[in-house]
Amino acid sequence: MANQNDGRPDPDALLANAQRSERGHLKIFLGAAPGVGKTWEMLTAAHAKRQKGVDVVAGLIETHGRAGTIEVIGELEQLPRLNVPYRGQTLAEFDLDAALLRRPALLLVDELAHTNAPGLRHAKRWQDVLDVLDAGIDVWTTVNVQHLESLNDQITRITGVRVGETVPDTVLDIADEIELIDLPPAELRARLQEGFVYRPDVAARALEGFFREGNLGALREIALRRAAQRIDKDVTRYMRSSAIPGPWPVAEKVLALIGPDDAASNVVRHAARLAEALRAPLTSFYIERTDDNSKVQAALDLTVQLGGNVVTQSAPDMVRAVMDYAAAQNITHIVVGRAARGRWPRRRFSEALTRQALAYTLHFVPVPAAAPQRPDPLPQGNWTTYLWAAALLAAITFSGSALKDILPQEAMGLIFTGLIAAMASREGRGPGLFTAIVGFFLWNFFFLPPLYTFSVADPRDVVALAVFLLVGIVTGTLAGRVRKEAATASARVEALRRISLFGQRLSRAVTLSDILNTAIEETTAITGAGIVLLAHNGALTPEASRPAGTELDETAEAAAEWCLTHDMETGTGTATLPSVPWRFFPLRGHGTVVGVLGARADTPPPAPTVQTLVTLADQTALALERARLALQTARTEAHQDSQKLRNALLSSLSHDLRTPLTAIRGAAETLAASGEVLSEATRADLLAAIIQDAARMGKFLANIIDMARVEAGALDIKHERLSLEAIAEAAIARVPGALYTALNVARDATHVRADPTLLEQVLVNLLDNAVKYAPPGSRISISTQREGSNVRLSVADEGVGIVPTELQAVFDSFFRASRGDRVAPGTGLGLAIAKAFTEAMDGRISAQSPRLDLPADGLPGTVITLELPAA
């Protein structure tokens, strides 16, 4: 985000404005409750637009039989509704395709939260509206505040009614304009009693339920606050795009500044009380440092528990970072801990903040009573580091004393300065300052005259000593700060690298097991041990763990259950069961917690580690949600395919079996009624017709049974060495009209490995297909040839052929070629069964049309080829 103080607009805000200009304009009439008149207000405003020459079309208006709403529609053009049959009734829905085809300048779509009838393009009406906006059409729509997804639980607690149809808050966020439609509770209840909202019998029940005066007052307050939040976002966006530095005190916002000290949690509590009193949002702001501790993470966790947001940054100038963020977010109140006696860095920060934060209300939180009033400890490192520093100082002093006739005294000052910078950059501020102070005394005592005393004879040496001490302290402090910032940046880069790699691994994970194992491996790499527990019917079940067999004790299980139930982190370093040597993170799915990620932590983990684990848990939850949706989609598609197959089977039975049944019934009734007076030849013809139609019915039913076996996966495949000549002759004998089929079996392609029953049925289906679509008396041929380790078996006919666009579809269930001068009887399953059986035997099947060996002036013909493993 650009610094607004430099006079340049925020690029993100400009990009957002550009994106908004590319789509249609969305205006939402937000109602505080049903019956406040949002549809009437939308229609009234639409008439005003129409009088100005705007092309206004009512895409869908829900009148609910209200005479006033019907009357106010007036002369507005209305799109015809789309009638959708559903469970024996017809539902009138919004016609999205008709709206896109009509392309008005302004489209009115009522009841944004409505759920569409099954079978339409989108499940929700707000998704239809997004398509209309993407097409560049302006939309006006209506929605009540109780339909917002984020408020669903809150509305349920207030009214006792769970709203089933909701709209994501993101839809409200993308709206270009929101108009709040509101009525006082007494006036709305009066409208209800007068019958302007519901029928009298329904209104009487509503007045005692949802429309109680207390409920309406609460809904009204929620709607006003939601509209105010949106206005505040609009103001902030305008300030950013216009490079206005701010802040503009249009709405109260509280910012809590967190530091690694005892006052961190106290600052959050005070800020939360202030935000509650002001009814303002709370944000905790923290500048990352290398001396992070459990107090920082506890304060950040407490912020989340109290309903606030957490923002962390890495910046060398803490005051400048706070000012930039406060100006960008339009903060009005800043809460910071008061500096304890002796804490020079905290006092310096407080004083700088007081000087620069003139546009903000500052709140200084008192130091906790139990906090020790003592300065920060100087050492940063351990005693070994200081011993090494002392040893190096002694070595340099000894070497300098031995070479004092060669090296001038000024050179020794530079050598000491170099050692100070090296110690501070490598070991930190504490060892650097220790080296600077000790080096100051060693240089004075051993190298500045008079030697071996702490007095200085030459005034120039006094200046040199003062400069040396100042340079040493400044160098040590700056080098230590650079080291801390480098360590912080390195930790951040490592965390980002881990998160990036983890995201890549999750994107490649397909199954639930892959996702869980990936999450556990990454958690274990960070903390040494991890476990994932997923929720099943409200109870947690361990799904994956590292090391294998890791189990939770009773207390840890209680912490995990609390994490699942209350959607908050628990365990060490938190305010909930902090004695548990685990840190549990909720896996947040779509609107619910799907499980818990646990990381072993005997001591509270530092803030960067916790943030990495939080991101890891969020990505894991998204991957689990993606896998769940993929599984749900696969099940839905399988159900739809099964439904299509069932419908096609029923259609086939009703259509293809009706003809032979009718013929059989007619012939049987004729024989029963007039058999004695009919000639012998006529009776024989009738009996032959009955036999032929019964055979056709048997073939239809056999195909349907075979396809059902394929769909159910109930095929028992045998791989035997089969003679193609014997199998082909058996198939030819089973197909009427195929007795004159030519059979040509190559010497090197006589046997295959396949299932005898399935292969014979495949050839029967192919021959039957050739007989159906070839002229009577035409030639059908079966030939084989060797192709590497496979045998190609081809069935060729001289029939009507297949158009090129249908070659890929001839093996689909219930497909029939559209070419030809007659309709061939059948279910359209023969070739589909042949393909399924062939693939079950590890073979392949393909079709070619026209045949290249037939004359160009005749019928094109078709060749269907099987490719099976040679024996």
Query: How much is the pLDDT for 378?
Result: 41
Q: Per CATH, which fold does 716-869 belong to?
A: Heat Shock Protein 90 (3.30.565)
Taking 80 as the threshold, does the pLDDT of residue 28 lie above it? yes
Query: How much is the pLDDT for 429?
Result: 67
3-state secondary structure of 235: helix
- pLDDT tens by residue, 500-530: 776 777 777 777 888 888 888 888 888 888 8
* Closest C-alpha to 864, from 838, 827, 826: 838
Taking 70 as the threshold, does the pLDDT of residue 616 lie above it? yes
Q: Per CATH, which fold does 254-365 belong to?
A: Rossmann fold (3.40.50)
Taking 70 as the threshold, does the pLDDT of residue 253 lie above it? yes
Query: How much is the pLDDT for 821?
Result: 42
Residue 335's pLDDT band (cuts 50, 70, 90): very high
Within 10 Å of residue 346's Cβ, how many Cβ atoms? 19
Global pTM value? 0.41
Taking 60 as the threshold, does the pLDDT of residue 698 lie above it? yes
With pLDDT > 70 as the criterion, what percentage of the chain qualifies?
A: 78
Round to whole Å and give the CA distance between 392 and 434: 12
Least confident of 253-257, 333-337, 858-862: 858-862
Residue 828, C-beta contacts closer than 8 angstroms, at least 6 positions apart: 652, 813, 814, 815, 816
The residue with greater pLDDT, 82 or 66, is 82
Matching CATH number, 509-627, of 3.30.310.40, 3.30.450.40, 3.30.2010.10, 3.40.50.1220: 3.30.450.40
Q: Hey, where are the domains in the chain?
A: 11-241, 254-365, 383-485, 509-627, 658-709, 716-869
Per-residue pLDDT, averaged over 604-624, amounts to 82
- What DSSP state is assigned to residue 494? H
* Closest C-alpha to 795, from 742, 730, 747, 758: 742
Taking 80 as the threshold, does the pLDDT of residue 797 lie above it? yes
With pLDDT > 90 as the criterion, what percentage of the chain qualifies?
A: 9
Q: Does domain 11-241 have CATH number 3.40.50.300?
A: yes
Query: How much is the pLDDT for 357?
Result: 83
Residue 292's pLDDT band (cuts 50, 70, 90): low
Q: What does the block give as tokens for 97?
A: 């395709």
Per-residue pLDDT, averaged over 317-323, amounts to 86
What integer best gives the mean pLDDT of the chain?
77
* Closest C-alpha to 393, from 444, 453, 443: 443
φ, ψ (nearest 5 deg) of residue 832: -65, -40
Q: What does the block give as tokens for 386?
A: 């200081």
Residues 428 and 485 sit within 8 Å (Cβ to Cβ): no
Residue 55's pLDDT band (cuts 50, 70, 90): very high
Round to whole Å and give the CA distance between 717 and 699: 22
Per-residue pLDDT, averaged over 220-224, amounts to 81
Query: How much is the pLDDT for 9?
Result: 55
- First-to-last C-alpha distance (Å) of the chain: 71
CA–centroid distance for 467 within its chain? 60
Per-residue pLDDT, averaged over 531-559, amounts to 86
Taking 80 as the threshold, does the pLDDT of residue 190 lie above it? yes
Q: What does the block give as tokens for 675?
A: 């058999």
- pLDDT tens by residue, 383-432: 787 888 788 878 887 887 777 777 776 677 777 777 777 776 677 667 77
Identical fold between 509-627 and 716-869: no
Query: How much is the pLDDT for 603?
Result: 80
Residue type present at position 654: S
Least confident of 264-278, 307-321, 589-603, 817-831: 817-831
Whether the link from the prior residue into 450 is cis, omega within 30° of 0, is yes
Q: What does the block give as tokens for 869?
A: 């493993």
